[in-house]
Chains A and B, each alone.
Chain A
Amino acid sequence: MSLLSQIIQFTFSGLANGGTYILVALGLNIIYNATGIINFAQGEFAVFGSFIMITLCMAWGIPAPVAFPITVLALAGIGALFHRTAIAPLKKPSVITMVIITIGGSIFMRGVAMLIWGKYPQRLDPFIDAPPIRFMDAIIKWDTLLVLVIVALVVAALYWFFEKTVTGKAMRACAENREAALLMGINVDRIVLLSFALSAALGAVAGVVYTPGASMEYGRGPYFGLRGFEVAIIGGLGNSVGAVLAGILIGLFETFSAGFLSPTYKEAITLALLLLVLFVKPSGILGKAEVARLKDF
């Protein structure tokens, strides 16, 4: 394979992975913006999404276009339940207790996933079962393209939600100033609940687009979560435009470093980037935190 076709190959798989990470990171941002909480269980939403999709498609034979929305709705419910049972009852929330409690939630969900779907990886058939596109020796699966389209659509839909709908604006208002939002008659508690549901739904989409042609196992949550954190931090916590850029960046960085540097140390290299950004510029690549917040959608 020539260098050029390798580059093409890596670019596509990097973008597809990056797309998944973007979705996880956007989910993190939504909860962070509405509540100031970083949800350490975000990766588990992706795992659940993937497993539910696998069950619906592989075990129950429901066609993917039908199973997909069902999965997303199911996760929205799980997200809401997570908020009601683990987050809402907390009397004195502090950052430390929130970190620990969402970690507790993630472990719990991991345990549930293991109980329901077992310890072994499970497979999901490709969505589009057609021969892959060959382009100068590079092999591009149709599913990869589908992932890119889905991620683009979801990002566009989110943009529309936060820019054009009153509920979306109310959610931003809660994030911005809780007290003023209450004065407007916004039911902040319900909006926060909605943010958890939306965030979990995004996690589900991430899990679903990640899986076809690959497999899922119960312990993958932290992987998604870590990539999501990395993207969210590098893009600037709470900044969704930044998350999209950072997601593309990390996806490409990961595949290219695995391809050209060392596949063995891919994980360590990619995470080292997270530490580097945290140490050098914790507010993310888009500059100052205040500016980043103004650019938020």
Chain B
Amino acid sequence: MDRFDWKPFAVLSVLLGYLFVFGKLYTLMLLTRAGMYCIVTIGMCLLVGYAGQVSIGHAAFYAIGGYTSAILTIRYGVPLWGGLVCAVALSCAVAFLIGIPTLRLRGHYLAMATLGFGVIVYSLIHSSIEFTGGSSGISGAPPLTLFGTNLAEDGGIFYFLFVWINVAVFMLLAGNIIRSRPGRALMSIHGNEEAANAAGVNTSAFKLKVFVLSAGMAAYAGFLYVHYDGFIGANSAELMLSVIFVAMVAVGGMANLWGTLCATVLLSLLPEFLRRTQKVKAADLPDFIHNSLGLSDTQIFKLIQKFQELDVLIYGLIIIVFMIFMPQGIFTGTADMFRTLARRVRAVRGKRRVSDAS
């Protein structure tokens, strides 16, 4: 673990490079969003997976970041970097204040406290209409510019690159934290705090640091989002988003950064994938479906339309299925699966060879 693991980076770069050259603009946009979520979930992975602290309220920090920067830059003409600093600082400050009492709690109590916090922030954003625009949100946030270029121009290719470079930087940062002394101590004993404390690691300080860091990262992602889209609404603080963040970490295998990254990209593309299926026309479907179901074209059309509403349901299903069948996460889980498969195949081949020989 001490040597830098370059392989995943290489794979990622090749994939991203491919997309950069051949990808459609729309795909780029989706992946830019996914990259922003990755920034949130990398922090969440440190918090939930490594420090063992569940948070079901991280969308609140994402929203705080986005709203702070949007309000400051639009209403008060603050420059972008000012918005960024304030967004991250405010989010970290809130996380610090909330974190001190919250992180004393454990298990279910911690989950409920963070959940309560998240919903409070949502309802504050939703209700403070003069300030946040309530349910209609805020629009018109200035686009992000770097070295005089508007990153969102040209279909956002540069934005895409910029976000993913950020993801890479945060991955490195997270890796360093995991390899740091307190990080290693926490990981090696699987979040057993008594043991860590006994080993001389101040776990509560470490937990608070990770909590504040993850809140700051979420805020940064919110900032990136609002200056990409120009718009932010109360749904950015929704409970569902917080839950999706946790789900991404869980599906990734909890204490697994690369798994989290994978799961984040896949899960953020899922609603889009389902939306695409809606475009399928009833007539395109093979005859046997019509025949075997005995449905008319309009009925099938309605069914297909319903299909796009399935994203909520499928999210739920994915979480349950992963927790039950692949608790080690998508990355390790798939690798394990292939390994078992390979072993089986080898065993079968071996047997055959033995039987051939005899």
Using a CB–CB cutoff of 8 Å, the interface residues on chain A facing chain B are 38, 40, 85-86, 89-92, 95-97, 99-101, 103-112, 114-115, 119, 222, 226, 229-230, 233, 237, 264-265, 267-268, 271-272, 274-275, 278-279, 282
Mostly helix, strand, loop or mixed at chain A's interface? helix
Contacts of B127 in A (CB 8 A): 264-265, 267-268
Q: Is the beta-carbon distance between B247 and A222 smaller than 8 angstroms? A: no
Q: Could you write out 29 A-B pairs with CB less than 8 Å apart? A: A90-B324, A95-B108, A95-B111, A96-B52, A97-B250, A99-B54, A100-B247, A100-B250, A100-B323, A101-B323, A103-B319, A105-B320, A106-B316, A107-B319, A108-B313, A109-B316, A110-B312, A111-B314, A111-B316, A112-B313, A226-B116, A229-B116, A233-B109, A264-B127, A274-B112, A274-B113, A274-B116, A275-B113, A278-B116
Q: Is B115 an interface residue (CB 8 A)?
A: yes
Q: Is the beta-carbon distance between A226 and B115 smaller than 8 angstroms? A: yes
Name B239's contact: one of A90, A92, A104, A222 (CB within 8 Å): A222
Q: Is the beta-carbon distance between A282 and B243 smaller than 8 angstroms? A: no
Q: Is B123 an interface residue (CB 8 A)?
A: yes
- CA–CA, A115 and B307, complex, Å: 9
Using a CB–CB cutoff of 8 Å, the interface residues on chain B facing chain A are 48, 52, 54, 56, 101-102, 104-109, 111-113, 115-117, 119-120, 123-124, 127, 239-240, 243, 246-247, 250, 254, 306, 309-320, 323-324, 327
- CA–CA, A90 and B314, complex, Å: 19
Name B112's contact: one of A89, A108, A233, A264 (CB within 8 Å): A233
Q: Is the beta-carbon distance between B54 and A265 smaller than 8 angstroms? A: no
Q: Is the beta-carbon distance between B116 and A101 smaller than 8 angstroms? A: no
Q: Is the beta-carbon distance between A282 and B105 smaller than 8 angstroms? A: yes
Contacts of B123 in A (CB 8 A): 265, 267-268, 271
Contacts of B109 in A (CB 8 A): 233, 278, 282
Contacts of A106 in B (CB 8 A): 316
Q: A108-B313, A111-B315, A114-B312 are in contact. Are A103 and B246 (CB under 8 A)?
A: yes
Name A96's contact: one of B254, B314, B317 (CB within 8 Å): B254
Q: Is the beta-carbon distance between B119 and A267 smaller than 8 angstroms? A: yes
Q: A112-B313, A114-B309, A268-B127 are in contact. Are A38 and B243 (CB under 8 A)?
A: no
Contacts of B56 in A (CB 8 A): 99, 103
Q: Is the beta-carbon distance between A99 and B111 smaller than 8 angstroms? A: yes
Q: What is the distance, in angstroms, from A174's C-beta to the closest C-beta of chain B? A: 19
Q: What is the distance, in angstroms, from B22's C-beta to the closest C-beta of chain A? A: 34
Give the nearest-CB partner of B104 in chain A: A279
Q: Is the beta-carbon distance between B108 and A115 smaller than 8 angstroms? A: no
Give the nearest-CB partner of B106 in chain A: A95
- CA–CA, A268 and B313, complex, Å: 28
Give the nearest-CB partner of A103 in chain B: B243
Contacts of A86 in B (CB 8 A): 320, 324
Give the one of B124, B239, B311 with max A CB within 10 A. B239
- CA–CA, A90 and B320, complex, Å: 9
- CA–CA, A36 and B84, complex, Å: 43
Q: Is the beta-carbon distance between B323 and A110 smaller than 8 angstroms? A: no
Give the nearest-CB partner of A273 in chain B: B116
Given A105-B320, A110-B313, A265-B123: 7 more A-B contacts, CB < 8 Å = A108-B313, A111-B315, A230-B116, A267-B119, A268-B120, A278-B105, A279-B101
Q: What is the distance, in angstroms, from B121's C-beta to the closest C-beta of chain A? A: 8
Contacts of B119 in A (CB 8 A): 222, 226, 267, 271
Q: Is the beta-carbon distance between B323 and A97 smaller than 8 angstroms? A: yes
Q: Is the beta-carbon distance between A111 and B310 smaller than 8 angstroms? A: yes
Contacts of A115 in B (CB 8 A): 306, 309-310, 313
5 nearest A-B residue pairs (beta carbon): A111-B313, A108-B316, A104-B319, A107-B316, A111-B312
